Structure 1
Amino acid sequence: MIYFNSDYLEGAHPALLEKLNETNMVQTVGYGEDEYCAAAREKIKAACQAPEADVHFLVGGTQTNTTVIAAILRPWQGVLSAVSGHINCHEAGAIESTGHKVITLPTTNGKITAQQVRDYVEWHKHDESTEHIVQPGMVYISHPTEGGTLYTKAELTELYGTCREYGLPLFIDGARLGYGLMADESDMTLPELARLCDVFYIGGTKVGALCGEAVVFPHGAPAHFMTMVKQQGALLAKGRLMGIQFDVL
């Protein structure tokens, strides 16, 4: 019998396990500074057609969402998300534990629109109590959404345009990005998605890896991002294990 309860019912792709075993006794430096991570980064940048991108390997999705959001926001800011968004519903208050509010927008299909972002930012800007209200500092979406729906290229283009208009970094949670891009209904490629956001990640944990997510900043990471990764407990000492997995995948 085949079960579809979650993405975690099997271990990992056999080719990945073979490579881990093959390289098991090879000595490398730690914390992602090894040749396997370097090779994987170059493959990811090439696949994204983003040669200037910064690529970081983190251990899991919750750590990735928490670290990226904490690195981008200032202390008085929050992150805009669909009310059904993963960071709002299924991460045990991880974002709030860093001192940042998840500002929720209503949705019937898991997606948020450019107009919703515009309306909220304009409301915040013109409210007489604006200095007493958490300021929206970035926008979070996932592709696919928590309900399995997909953003079209047109929707993402419009959303990113609005984010740029208001100076809000757009973050795409890609824990299931492989599914989203390969779905029959998808009209987007990986390079197109990389051009339509400020940061996203390529999920490994849910797409054949033992663990790990590859965070991509197409235009460069925030200052001291790796220090934030370490602070949030998302940096694997034996970083080569991440590099080998993504190099194979």
Structure 2
Amino acid sequence: MMINFRNDYNDIAHEAILDLLLEVKDQSNIGYGEDVITDKAKQLLQTHFDHKIYTSFMVGGTITNKTVISHLLKPYEAVISASTGHIDVHETGAIEQTGHKIITIDSVDGKINASDVKRTLEQFQDFHRVIPKMIYLSNATETGLIYNKSELIELYEVAKQNDLILFIDGARLGVALTSKESDLTLNEISLYSDIFYIGGTKNGAMLGEAIITKHEAMHNNLTYSIKQNGGLLAKGFILGIQFQALFTNNLFFEIASKANQNANLLVEGLKQLRIDFKPTPTNQQFLRLKKSIVDSLKKNYQFEIWADHDAEQTIRLVTTYRRNEVEIQSFLRDLSKLI
């Protein structure tokens, strides 16, 4: 069997989620998230915050981004994103399909900063252009990097000074918060943003993302937008089960920590092999290798080809809680024979 480093959503779900599914399999529930399981999940999430939050559950990342952005922006308002942002490069024009322009900021490392936003705002000053209304960022980013507290506070301050909404894509929020370089808590993510979501799909869940906002006005009528975008699951309690399990006994953070620990094992092994690469603090690592080496590795390992460079290719290796030291050492051993 091939060892899978392709992504962090290649298994059905963590066994604790499967156990809870079996535990409640004979239970009859109200639909559309109006059930006791979903209520329990929301209560568990609330315990991680020192302020009132409003929670909605959705099935996946793209529909979450599309729904949040279209719900909060008027047709002539736009969203600012890094040029590498998921909404710009990996969502099949979902944001544009709802009529919203994405204003991209060139980014080498996948991050944007307060100065980037200020410079961008200066270019949009009259009614011949769209109004920048939202800042979109991912934590962790598409490049595996994370935002620290000071960076996030600076972005949030710029947002407040310019009447912008700060929206955080948290598809990989778990690995961001449990990274050894992180100085942010889940509570602080809410404090220094307007709306964000906690990704379950890439962190052990069968499916599911939890949209969270501290603003009641942003939450009001969000269910209508979710329904209109085809995101309101009739069997909403299935989403509730995911997050009830994930936020019981801190399983969400345990899963993410394990993914990062496996990434650290991979990074240390690559350093010992003297591979020239820039490690990230999360579970995505990027290596530039000769195509002949990549072709050989493909025989036993799954991974994404991130970029082509003539005779070389950049590959992405993603670790999860399901990978183990034996599998990682196997990859390192095979790579060592090829370099």
For the aligned pair, the TM-score class normalised by the smaller chain equals over 0.9
Alpha-carbon distance, 1:108 to partner: 1.4
CA-atom RMSD, angstroms? 1.0
| Alignment match, 2:55 | 55
- The counterpart of 2:184, out of the listed 170, 188, 192, is 188
Cα distance in structure 2, aligned partners of 1:193 and 1:201: 10
AA partner of residue 219 (structure 1): H
Alpha-carbon distance, 1:48 to partner: 2.8
Residue 225 (str. 1) matches residue 226 (str. 2)? no
Alpha-carbon distance, 1:81 to partner: 0.2
- Answer whether contact 1:175 1:205 (CA < 8 A) is retained: yes
AA partner of residue 70 (structure 2): A
Deviations 1:101-159 (A, max 9, x none): 1110111111111111112112312xxxx211121111100001110111110000000
- Answer whether contact 1:72 1:222 (CA < 8 A) is retained: no
Structure 2, unmatched stretches of 5+, are 247-339
| Alignment match, 1:159 | 155
Matched position secondary structure for 2:94 = coil
AA partner of residue 235 (structure 2): K
AA partner of residue 4 (structure 1): F
| Alignment match, 1:171 | 167
Deviations 1:57-92 (A, max 9, x none): 001100000000001101101100000000001001
Residue 66 (str. 1) matches residue 62 (str. 2)? no
| Alignment match, 2:81 | 81
Residue pairs, 1:15-30, within 5 angstroms: 15-30=16-31
| Alignment match, 1:200 | 196
- Answer whether contact 1:181 1:188 (CA < 8 A) is retained: yes
AA partner of residue 43 (structure 1): L
Cα distance in structure 2, aligned partners of 1:64 and 1:43: 21
Matched position secondary structure for 2:4 = coil
Residue 247 (str. 1) matches residue 248 (str. 2)? no
Runs of 4+ in 1 over 6 A off after TM superposition: none
AA partner of residue 225 (structure 1): L
Alpha-carbon distance, 1:7 to partner: 1.2
Cα distance in structure 2, aligned partners of 1:11 and 1:35: 24
Cα distance in structure 1, aligned partners of 2:89 and 2:6: 18
Residue pairs, 1:117-156, within 5 angstroms: 117-125=117-125, 130-156=126-152
AA partner of residue 27 (structure 1): S
Deviations 1:5-41 (A, max 9, x none): 0112111001110110110111111100101111111
Residue 110 (str. 1) matches residue 106 (str. 2)? no
AA partner of residue 36 (structure 1): I
- Using structure 1 for the length normalisation, give the TM-score: 0.95
AA partner of residue 34 (structure 2): E
Cα distance in structure 2, aligned partners of 1:189 and 1:224: 28
| Alignment match, 1:213 | 209
- Using structure 2 for the length normalisation, give the TM-score: 0.71
Matched position secondary structure for 2:55 = strand
Deviations 1:208-239 (A, max 9, x none): 11101000012223431100000111111001
Matched position secondary structure for 1:95 = helix
Q: Which moved more, 1:215-224 or 1:38-47?
A: 215-224
Deviations 1:171-207 (A, max 9, x none): 0000010011011111111111110000000001110
Between the aligned residues of both structures, percent identity stands at 46
- Answer whether contact 2:83 2:105 (CA < 8 A) is retained: yes
Cα distance in structure 2, aligned partners of 1:191 and 1:214: 14
- Answer whether contact 1:32 1:239 (CA < 8 A) is retained: yes
Residue 11 (str. 1) matches residue 12 (str. 2)? yes
Cα distance in structure 1, aligned partners of 2:112 and 2:46: 28
